[in-house]
Amino acid sequence: MGVRRTAASVVAMGTLAVWAAPAMAAGSTTNGTNTVDAITTTGSPTSQLFALQVTSQRGQDNAQNTAWAYAHDCTGCRSVAVAFQVDFEVGPMSQSTPQNLGLAENYQCTGCVSYAYAYQDVVPVAHPITLNAPEQAQLNDIASRAQQLASSGQTPAQMDPVFKQLAAELQTDVANDVRLLNSNQAGTSWKGAQLPGFLLSGFNFASADLSNANLEQAQLRGTNLSGANLSGAHLSGANLSGANLSGANLTGANLSGANLSGANERGATFG
């Protein structure tokens, strides 16, 4: 395969305890296993790979997420491997041993760059989760930006904080998706939440804090928003037909193109 394991790398892998031997292919994603291998050498000097996997584990969680960046016998090679994994642990678990590993190595290289980042979000849930289209679109957007960053030519020091920001964004989005499994959100806080295009028809957001939330194109038909704080919210293109907006604070909200037919706006504050 043209990939030599040095004594140092073997030692390093030993410290990773259960590092599964990475496949020599560019990467693989199967149920519960997300592996990204970016391997470069003379003649194949650039590999910049990203993969995001959403997996559900039941009973025992042995999910693996690995990023391996390896440049060898090369001058000026660049290997970037980034692996994101969302690991839903569904129902009671008898064992939870998810693994998240990142390894970057330059071997016999001059002027090479190798960077690996692995992010694993383990989320216990009571019931199986299927992300709907708007939720999936959020993850796709994060994946797109991550792939662009991996291919940006930036140094590891430059990329690392940005990848961690993307990971934090992914965590927030997934946490919101899980929270919205419950349609009763009365009195909860969604301040500044990113919910574009989300399917929230019939939800109860009475007295909830949705200030500065992004609800563009969201489906809010018949949603109870009475007394909710929607100040500064982005509601352009949202469908609010039949929604209850009585007593809601819509100061500074962007309602351009929103459908308010049949909405109860009694006592609502606009401005």
Give Cβ neighbours of residue 146 (< 8 Å, ≥ 6 apart).
50, 52, 82, 84, 163, 166
- What's the closest the beta carbon of residue 70 comes to other proteins, in angstroms? 10
Surface-to-core class of residue 10, CB atoms within 10 Å of its CB (0-12 exposed, 13-18 middle, 19+ buried): exposed
**Cα 220 from Cα 222, distance rounded (Å):** 6
CB closer to other proteins out of 52 and 118: 118
Of 10-18, 36-44, 47-55, 219-227: span binding other proteins (CB under 8 A): 10-18
Using CB under 8 A as the binding rule, whether residue 97 contacts other proteins is answered as yes
| Residue of the chain from 39, 51, 109, 253 that contacts other proteins (CB under 8 A) | 109
Tokens (6 digits) for 48? 């910049």
Of 30-38, 129-137, 164-172, 258-266: span binding other proteins (CB under 8 A): 164-172
Using CB under 8 A as the binding rule, whether residue 117 contacts other proteins is answered as yes
Of 1-9, 46-54, 133-141, 249-257: span binding other proteins (CB under 8 A): 1-9
- Residue 15 backbone zone (phi > 0: left; psi -120 to 50: alpha; other: beta): alpha
- What's the closest the beta carbon of residue 2 comes to other proteins, in angstroms? 16
- What's the closest the beta carbon of residue 117 comes to other proteins, in angstroms? 5
CB closer to other proteins out of 47 and 249: 47
By the 8 A CB rule, do 40 and 81 touch? no
Using CB under 8 A as the binding rule, whether residue 271 contacts other proteins is answered as no
| Residue of the chain from 48, 53, 56, 99 that contacts other proteins (CB under 8 A) | 99
**Cα 12 from Cα 94, distance rounded (Å):** 30
Tokens (6 digits) for 255? 């309602």
| Residue of the chain from 33, 40, 57, 106 that contacts other proteins (CB under 8 A) | 106
DSSP assignments along 113-177, one per residue = EEEEEEEEEEEEESS-----HHHHHHHHHHHHHHHHHHTS---HHHHHHHHHHHHHHHHHHHHHH
Tokens (6 digits) for 173? 């989005």
Residues between 75 and 94 that touch other proteins (CB under 8 A): 92-94
Nearest to 101 by CA among 75, 127, 128, 119: 119
| Residue of the chain from 28, 29, 147, 171 that contacts other proteins (CB under 8 A) | 171
| Residue of the chain from 36, 49, 112, 240 that contacts other proteins (CB under 8 A) | 112
Residues between 189 and 218 that touch other proteins (CB under 8 A): none
Q: Which amino acid belongs to residue 177?
A: D
Contact positions vs other proteins (CB under 8 A): 6, 8-9, 12, 15-19, 67, 69, 71, 92-122, 124, 155-157, 159-160, 163-164, 167, 171
